[in-house]
């Protein structure tokens, strides 16, 4: 009798889990772009093998005749149109998270970088880290407006560009 009750309970729980709606992360637009006389930037949410967005791909192309530098210490993740912390990327760990290295993109060059909002990551234990992977796990990007306040140095001037898109979580049976 006890085994029958346990088996019935397990079947009931499995049945309930199978009926649970699937959450699907979508983005509108799928890729957002910004362009000015100095550069072109594309910002795209990424799932990285998950069913949810957990990072962004930034593709930055220098159209100017001078080097451009992305200042990651001033660049911010935007959530619902407000600054919501910095980004992290491969090569960043807890020791240098407050002093991120800049990226210099030469004239005519481009840079592609996968970035994650700092407030949505979990640091991996030292023994779980590998040289070719980031030292953190990416968490889901929340529903709402997400974006980047990109800060770029050009000819001793600072250029600030807001690039945003809307993340939606839809339930599907």
DSSP characters over 10-52: HHHHHHHHHHSPEEEEEEESSSEEEE-SSEEEEEEEE-TTSSS
pLDDT for the residue 5: 45
In a domain, residue 3? The reply is: no
**Least confident span in 30-34, 77-81, 93-97, 113-117:** 93-97
Percent of the chain surpassing pLDDT 90:
61
Provide mean pLDDT across the span 149-171: 94
In a domain, residue 113? The reply is: yes
Residue 126's pLDDT band (cuts 50, 70, 90): low
Measured CA to CA in angstroms, residue 166 lies from 8, 44, 50, 85, 147 at distances of: 43, 11, 18, 18, 8
Structural domain including 54 reads 21-172
pLDDT for the residue 119: 93
pLDDT for the residue 148: 98
Please give the structure tokens belonging to residue 153: 């140095």
State the pTM of this model: 0.82
Residue 109 has pLDDT above 60, yes or no: yes
Q: Quick check: bond before 29 cis, omega within 30? A: yes
Express each pLDDT in 20-29 by its tens digit: 568 888 999 9
In the chain, how many domains are there? 1
In a domain, residue 115? The reply is: yes
Provide mean pLDDT across the span 146-153: 97
Q: For all residues of the chain together, what is the average pLDDT?
A: 85
- Distance between CA atoms of residues 105 and 166, nearest Å: 28
In a domain, residue 117? The reply is: yes
In a domain, residue 102? The reply is: yes
In a domain, residue 139? The reply is: yes
In a domain, residue 6? The reply is: no
pLDDT for the residue 92: 85
pLDDT for the residue 173: 61
Closest CA to 118 of 144, 147, 89, 143: 89
| DSSP at 139 | P
In a domain, residue 105? The reply is: yes
CB 75 within 8 Å of CB 151: yes
- The domain that holds 42 is classified in CATH as 2.60.40
């Amino acid at each position: 009798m006890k085994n029958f009750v346990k088996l019935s309970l397990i079947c009931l729980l499995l049945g309930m889990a199978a009926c649970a709606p699937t959450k699907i992360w979508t983005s509108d637009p799928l890729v957002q772009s910004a362009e000015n006389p100095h550069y072109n930037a594309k910002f795209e949410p990424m799932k990285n093998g998950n069913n949810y967005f957990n990072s962004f791909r930034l593709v930055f192309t220098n159209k100017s005749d001078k080097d451009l530098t992305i200042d990651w210490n001033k660049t911010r993740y935007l959530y619902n149109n407000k600054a919501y912390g910095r980004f992290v990327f491969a090569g960043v760990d807890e020791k240098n998270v407050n002093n991120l290295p800049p990226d210099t993109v030469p004239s005519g060059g481009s840079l592609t970088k996968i970035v994650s909002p700092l407030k949505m990551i979990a640091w991996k234990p030292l023994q779980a880290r590998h040289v070719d992977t980031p030292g953190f796990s990416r968490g889901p990007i929340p529903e709402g407006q997400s974006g980047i306040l990109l800060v770029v140095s050009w000819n001793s001037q600072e250029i600030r560009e807001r690039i945003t898109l809307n993340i939606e979580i839809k339930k599907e049976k």
